[in-house]
A and B are shown apart, each in its own frame.
Chain A
Amino acid sequence: MSKKLIELNNISKSYGSNIVLDELNLYIRENEFLTLLGPSGCGKTTTLRIIGGFETPDTGNVLFDGNDITSLPPNKRQLNTVFQKYALFTHMNVSDNIAFGLKIKGKTDKYIRDKIEYALRLVNLEGYGDRMPECLSGGQQQRVAIARAIVNEPKVLLLDEPLGALDLKLRQDMQYELIRLKEELGITFIYVTHDQEEALTMSDTIVVMNQGYIQQIGSPEDIYNEPENAFVADFIGDSNIIDGIMLQDELVMFLGTKFACVDTGFGTNTPVDVVIRPEDVILTPPERGKINGVVTHLIFKGVHYEMEVQAGGFEWLVHSTTMFPVGAEVGLEVDPFNIQIMNKPASEDEEAVSLEE
């Protein structure tokens, strides 16, 4: 495991009475692609701005390579940022934008020329050096912003929702480009997004945040398959979150029916949240299901059908490649290892908020 490059210790930040970050602790390893993921207002951008030096935390400190950089201004930090909406210098052409940081550092003309050429090639924009930013598409401007940051050879690249303004197809292409860039440059990426798909695609580590607190830190697989609480489960992909009671180890009851599961250690008769992914719900003929229900909605999604099934007093979201028409009676079954058991949130701050996407 590579060493810790950036450490955030007990970071708090508030604007007036609005607490944005509360006692946040986080470290970022060398060469990691770490994503801060959460809904708007969760504190992810503030965290990034504190690392970049654009905000000073109220309490706590930021360590870079072991040195305290909490009050170091951004122009003295060994990292560069790709800003939301690119923030290109509109009065300069592409080459001058890319050369800006190098000229400030007093590099030689030849060095700067070589670097511009290298950076333009890296982001697939050869021959665009003389264009003005306003003549470029959103995706091209984004590449210029990335090129402008990476020519300075930062140890860390901060990216603040860099793909937010692009359309879906371009966004997916850019995700692959960013992964390729990261591999070619071999530097640390800290990426902020509210888009869970983006986070799952690109990251080594995902930090899920909500209301100034870290909800879970883990690999994309961990976060998706083993969400630690109902908020994470709900935010990452679709989920059925049902109130249940853990009767004993490996046995849970919800919607009036007992289900076998694989979780242990919750004690007996403990109230819990039961989380089941829509693709893990198995639809059967009515006589073979554990609970019976009726299909109320049906949408064709391409890869699968999305159905809503009213069963046991709960509206289930089900993804299935087998289609059942609206009004059909079906049985529902779930494999034990697909039932996730979670403790009820201890405090209000951790409470899952309903998310409109």
Chain B
Amino acid sequence: MKNKKRARILAGPYLVWAVAFIIIPLAMIFTYGLTSRDGGYTLANIASIATPEHSKALWLSVRLSIIATVICLLLGYPLAYILAHMKSSKGMIIFIFILPMWMNFLLRTLAWQTLLEKTGVINTVLSAIGLPTLAIINTSKAIVLGMVYNFLPFMVLPLYNSLTKIDDNVINAAHDLGANGFQTFIKIILPLTVPGIISGITMVFVPALTTFVISKLLGGSKILLIGNVIEEQFTQASNWHLGSGLSIVLMIFILFNMLLSAIFDKDGEGNVI
């Protein structure tokens, strides 16, 4: 009984925090999202996702997030695999790899803007050595690049975790039973890292789906993702009701993804960061 009491006291500060900054804002979003300006309940804000403008932004967000997630997986899996099997200087590589994460997210994205600009660093170098210049700033490609750059570590860490959990002797056993390297990978390593893959996908897909900073800085004003649409409703259009309604739609997408991840990732590979 005494322990229970103590736990309640210790949990107090966080409870206050959670109510003030999580529960109340969430309730407000639902209230705004499900009401109109005149105060009556309505589903119109949520239904407005079906308008061509909004559904196009959502579809584009989903598409770019999936592309970015797939690229992260293809880049991240081999990297995680190499890291997991390195015997020495592993710490150094992980350090270099995580280093950018200590820099501000906005700064990193702004840096890419400078690099990719028409007269930016990359193009200056390219034209100096006589190569054709790139025109990817303010395109979907630049947005995907920004997503991959920012979210790759969130893919690699859960993969690395699930790879290091595989006992060396399990892989030895597969070889011992006649499997070559490729067969061992497909039949043993890949299935055993499914929790890590799912958790990596979630951790890249969710922030990519909701981002509005990357698309704003690297996509210019022409490309609108669902995050930008929602942001506009709050900042420029001052239509909190519509903004909240669209947020709820996005939340449903994310909850669905989380649900998938919870089913596959029972060991909590994603709980690394």
B172 near A87 (CB under 8 angstroms)? Answer: yes
Q: B183 at the A/B interface (Cβ < 8 Å)?
A: yes
Query: DSSP class of A's interface residues: helix, strand, loop or mixed?
Result: loop
C-alpha gap A104/B194 in the complex (Å): 22
Residues of B within 8 A of A148 (CB): 173, 177
**Shortest Cβ distance from B153 into chain A, in angstroms?**
26
A89 near B188 (CB under 8 angstroms)? Answer: yes
Q: B170 at the A/B interface (Cβ < 8 Å)?
A: yes
21 A-B contacts, Cβ less than 8 Å apart?
A73-B175, A74-B172, A74-B175, A75-B176, A80-B176, A80-B177, A83-B169, A83-B173, A87-B167, A88-B170, A88-B173, A89-B173, A89-B192, A100-B174, A100-B177, A100-B179, A101-B177, A104-B179, A104-B183, A148-B177, A149-B177
Contact of A152 among B169, B170, B178 (CB under 8 A): B178
Q: A90 at the A/B interface (Cβ < 8 Å)?
A: yes
Q: A171 at the A/B interface (Cβ < 8 Å)?
A: no
A81 near B192 (CB under 8 angstroms)? Answer: no
Q: B51 at the A/B interface (Cβ < 8 Å)?
A: no
Residues of B within 8 A of A (CB): 167, 169-170, 172-180, 183, 187-188, 191-192, 194
Contact with B along A83-113 (1 / 0, CB 8 A): 1110111110000000011001100000000
Contact with B along A298-329 (1 / 0, CB 8 A): 00000000000000000000000000000000
Contact with B along A26-60 (1 / 0, CB 8 A): 00000000000000000000000000111000000
Quick one: closest A residue to B173, CB to CB? A87
C-alpha gap A149/B172 in the complex (Å): 12
Residues of B within 8 A of A52 (CB): 172, 176
Residues of A within 8 A of B172 (CB): 52, 54, 74, 81, 83, 87
C-alpha gap A73/B180 in the complex (Å): 9
- A interface, how many residues as a size bin? 20 to 34
C-alpha gap A85/B183 in the complex (Å): 23
Residues of A within 8 A of B176 (CB): 52-53, 74-75, 80-81, 149
Quick one: closest A residue to B190, CB to CB? A91
**Shortest Cβ distance from A121 into chain B, in angstroms?**
20
Residues of A within 8 A of B191 (CB): 91
| A87, A105, A152, most chain B CB atoms within 10 A | A87
**Shortest Cβ distance from A194 into chain B, in angstroms?**
18
Contact of B179 among A53, A75, A91 (CB under 8 A): A75
B179 near A81 (CB under 8 angstroms)? Answer: no
A85 near B167 (CB under 8 angstroms)? Answer: yes
Residues of B within 8 A of A80 (CB): 176-177
Quick one: closest B residue to A98, CB to CB? B177
**Shortest Cβ distance from A350 into chain B, in angstroms?**
32
C-alpha gap A101/B170 in the complex (Å): 13
Q: A88-B170, A104-B178 are in contact. List 14 more A-B contacts (CB 8 A).
A: A54-B172, A81-B172, A83-B169, A83-B173, A84-B169, A87-B167, A88-B173, A91-B194, A100-B174, A100-B177, A100-B179, A100-B187, A104-B179, A149-B176
Quick one: closest B residue to A91, CB to CB? B191
A89 near B170 (CB under 8 angstroms)? Answer: yes
- Contacts A54-B172, A81-B173; is A101 near B167 (CB within 8 Å)? no
Residues of B within 8 A of A85 (CB): 167, 169
4 A-B pairs with the lowest CB-CB distances in the bound complex, closest first: A101-B177, A87-B169, A83-B169, A74-B175
Residues of B within 8 A of A152 (CB): 177-178
Contact of A101 among B169, B178, B194 (CB under 8 A): B178
